[in-house]
Structure 1
């Protein structure tokens, strides 16, 4: 399985909370084709059976419009499927491209933003952005667990306070993977550059789950974060495909 940016200097205290949907400095967590009618049921020809078997496996629940946004060079997909448009519960699954199509290699329970999902994420809306985003940079309060992604190890990855359900946020940023939504790829997850402007939010990460909804990020258990970090390989151009089930099926 396959997870180094030099450690950045200590960031100013006002930017320590840039993760998980940080907008202005306030975030604390940041179909088959129809067959012709016939009066009798004919058995499928051998050639049609072979053709069906040879069809490549697609990403389950992902429709043609969303599939078209995945770069042709991408060989790893992190698929985050939300239960509904307004739910903070989701599933994160890892897929690898093979000669036979996409093959699932892992699937874990996850949290997303408190109010669910948005196809036009704004700072403070408490929704996770729907879309396809590249994954190039990682970091955390703890040392690099062995990722091939660039990794920024530093004390800027702090998450004080409590979450929406009163759960402690400490340790949430022990490991993070920056989702390239409204950020500059190739920089630390702590970088404050917002190409779309600060009103469109930012600091959207995959990070360690704290047991409740996030401000905009996706979170999974710490052991799964370490496994994901060790698996993602920049040479395979990984992306995250994320959204609620209905939004993804377009």
Structure 2
């Protein structure tokens, strides 16, 4: 539900004015000691940013982290680009972003010792012969998923991998580090995202979100 015009000023609209290279921003507001979060969708029309939707969400079992490490169960904070989408289900009608239908040969490598760390790989062999740790992208929770382009360019070994927006098990079940929403809310988000508007995602506490939005003007 969106707030009415009579409610207090939005906490992020002023900070969004510093974002110059995107017209869509997903704001994930959470905490370091909670797994509960909200996902807010903002879009720039003309010169003004507007809140389009607020959805409940969950983060990693360790909450948010400003120093994300592989396997810590935390969701990384910061401002990132949004990448492609995937899922074992067919591409939903209305989705404009590149979408891959996954099968048992699609993996995301989370083995820090591998040259393939934090990369999407397709392999028809035995994955255990190549990587000590990996995720299968036809996982039950990845019926639909959106890639958060975290820890890229360069990839830092051990800084965390495979961060996605995906559907939740329940509204109170945390993830291993991703952001999860109900399937219905996730589909709304996926159909709303427009690659032509260079969508970004910012994850954090209220204070860190505002700081990252301001910092985007210097990047």
Q: TM-score, normalised by structure 1?
A: 0.62
Counterpart residue number, 1:94: 41
Structure 2 Cα separation of the partners of residues 246 and 63 of structure 1: 13
SS of residue paired to 1:229: helix
Structure 1 Cα separation of the partners of residues 179 and 36 of structure 2: 10
After TM superposition, list the pairs within 5 Å mapping 1:43-62 onto structure 2. Answer: 60-62=10-12
1:241 aligns with 2:202: yes
Structure 1 Cα separation of the partners of residues 56 and 73 of structure 2: 20
1:150 aligns with 2:150: no
Unpaired runs of at least 5, structure 1: 1-58, 161-171, 185-194
Q: 1:175 aligns with which of 134, 141, 144?
A: 144
The structure that is strand-richer by fraction is 2
Partner deviation per Cα, 1:76-133 (whole Å, 9 max, x = no partner):
1111101x32211000011111235211111110000111111221101111111111
After TM superposition, list the pairs within 5 Å mapping 1:106-185 onto structure 2. Answer: 106-146=53-93, 147-155=95-103, 156-159=136-139, 172-183=141-152
SS of residue paired to 2:184: helix
Deviation at 1:62, TM superposition (A): 4.1
Structure 1 Cα separation of the partners of residues 10 and 77 of structure 2: 16
SS of residue paired to 1:241: strand
Q: 1:208 aligns with which of 143, 156, 167?
A: 167
Counterpart residue number, 1:219: 180
Counterpart residue number, 1:32: none
Structure 1 Cα separation of the partners of residues 48 and 13 of structure 2: 15
Unpaired runs of at least 5, structure 2: 1-8, 104-135, 212-219
Q: TM-score, normalised by structure 2?
A: 0.70
**Which structure: larger Rg?**
1
Q: How many residues are treated as equivalent by the alignment?
A: 168
